[in-house]
Structure 1
Amino acid sequence: MGQEARHKGEGHRQRLRDRFLSHGADGLTDSDMLELLLTMGTPRRDCKEPARALLARFDGSLSRVLDAGQAELEQVAGVGPKNAFALHFVQAVARRYLRERLMGREYLRSSREVGDYLIHALRGLSRETLVAILLDASYGILALEEVAVGTLTAASVHPREVVALAMQHRAAAVILAHNHPSGNTQPSAQDRRLTRHLFLALAFCEIQLLDHCIIGADERPYSFADHGLMEEIRQACQPIIQG
């Protein structure tokens, strides 16, 4: 009976694989995708029910499942360390893929893809993390670098670290991004002070700070530039820079 069950389970998984090969991701439900990912960790077990349980635990959201921590995943019935590893591994592969495909591309033409990367990399993190996107004079993407992790304030993020990264990559412009673990993308007073602080530090080195994006629960990042805040900061800092 056990051998027969294993064969039936394998047949089901093969049908899912065939459906993916024929129709891509559109041919699979979120539950189907999770089931196939879980079988990477435990190939001889039926993973249909754990996949459904994961979606139920995380409000039906595939992205929330993939963003979840190891301990959270293992609290779900049928999900063990090997299954959780498989989910974390595919998340890491996707993050690296999204990151590397941006290198050398022009930011202005790829801003939506940059947003996709930032959402994938930063949404769901339990601690605030600040990253810098470094651009050349034509706004080509040179690098994406993590700057700081923890409580992000003008006091905790040292301008010299951002300036040093920009100088190291010979960047002409920088875009900052960080996450709000609370999910709210509205900028805080600290976010505004930090942006002004870094705008000045970079400006004195003749490097532009083009934008500061906040990643939260929304579909797209909150953009300081799109909401007119970068222009406010530029005007407020202009007398200091000209000095």
Structure 2
Amino acid sequence: MHKSDWQEKGEGHRQRLRDKFLDQGIESFTDSEIIELLLTFGTPRSDCKEAARAALAQFKTLPAVLDAAPDELQRIKGMGPKNIFALRFIQGVARRYLRQRIVGKHYVRSSREVADYLIHSMRGLQHEVLTVIFLDAAHGIIDSAVVAEGTVSSNTVYPRELVKAALARNASALILAHNHPSGNLSASRQDEELTRSLHLICSFMHIRLLDHLIIGSGDQVYSFVDQGIMGRIREDCRHLLDRVG
């Protein structure tokens, strides 16, 4: 059976996109072209151009399309389970790549890469999660893990489990990070209380809590250290420990 003119035209277009990437790299692509090519991984014989444009029009940015929930993507004409699988899969690959890339690096020299990983893995989530970056005594990055999901507060995060995870990795220092699904990039009273409680508990175990980061809806990160909150918490805990001692 001869291929239809439409099929030949579509395959030629997709091949041109692949050749364009090999010759000129990802920077030569528009966001719409990137989404289109990703969608074709799921349905290689379908024309995905209009679905890609509709997705970008709906969600506005490439990250927002990749972060979108499957039920949101299914509302777009031309977007089916196989297309959605392709988008979700590439999102998962990107998260694993960014996570594994930071392991073994020195935090201070790689803080931007850590921020990139946290932004990519936590931005767009519809619920709060608490991620911990585990570090050795020289502040080399050992690992990262999600230790709590749901509303992140002193009532929902179990310090014993966090300390247990740190000891299992022989971690000497920690960095906390959680997201604000609302997009608000500031610390709440509950965020400060949680940080104070965890800092105090970690101090008893000779584990340093270096910072607490908040991930909003954009590419910015709120740092307790940069805002001076971490310094106040350390001072408060030092006075408390001095009284106990």
The TM-score range, normalised by the shorter chain, is: over 0.9
Q: How far apart are residue 145 of structure 1 and its match?
A: 0.9
State the distance in 2 between where 1:6 and 1:223 align.
Answer: 52
1:33 aligned partner: 34
State the SS of the aligned residue for 1:144. strand
Q: How far apart are residue 65 of structure 1 and its match?
A: 0.3
1:193 to 2:229 alignment: no
State the SS of the aligned residue for 2:232. helix
Matches within 5 A, 1:219-230: 219-230=219-230
Q: How far apart are residue 186 of structure 1 and its match?
A: 0.6
Cα distance per residue 1:47-104 (max 9 Å; x no partner): 0000000001102x00000000110000111101110110000000000000011111
1:11 aligned partner: 12
State the distance in 1 between where 2:95 and 2:47 align.
Answer: 28
State the distance in 2 between where 1:19 and 1:78 align.
Answer: 24
State the distance in 1 between where 2:101 and 2:187 align.
Answer: 29
Consecutive aligned runs of 4 or more in structure 1 exceeding 6 Å deviation: none
Q: Which runs of 5+ in 1 are unaligned?
A: none
Q: How far apart are residue 2 of structure 1 and its match?
A: 6.9
1:204 aligned partner: 204
1:164 aligned partner: 164
Q: Give the aligned length.
A: 242
Cα distance per residue 1:153-189 (max 9 Å; x no partner): 1011111111111111111100000010001111111
Cα distance per residue 1:190-230 (max 9 Å; x no partner): 11111111111101111100000000123221110111110
State the distance in 2 between where 1:191 and 1:23 align.
Answer: 45
Letter in 1 for 2:31: D
State the distance in 2 between where 1:30 and 1:119 align.
Answer: 19
Matches within 5 A, 1:79-94: 79-94=79-94
The answer on whether the counterparts of 1:179 and 1:214 sit within 8 Å (CA) in structure 2 is yes
The answer on whether the counterparts of 1:185 and 1:218 sit within 8 Å (CA) in structure 2 is no
2:183 aligned partner: 183
1:111 aligned partner: 111
Q: CA RMSD in A?
A: 1.0
State the distance in 2 between where 1:103 and 1:186 align.
Answer: 28
TM-score, normalization: structure 1?
0.98
1:138 aligned partner: 138
The answer on whether the counterparts of 2:177 and 2:213 sit within 8 Å (CA) in structure 1 is yes
State the distance in 2 between where 1:104 and 1:85 align.
Answer: 31
Letter in 1 for 2:6: A
State the distance in 2 between where 1:241 and 1:91 align.
Answer: 44
1:48 aligned partner: 49
State the SS of the aligned residue for 1:155. coil
The answer on whether the counterparts of 2:214 and 2:222 sit within 8 Å (CA) in structure 1 is yes
Cα distance per residue 1:118-147 (max 9 Å; x no partner): 000000011100010000000000010111
1:215 to 2:199 alignment: no
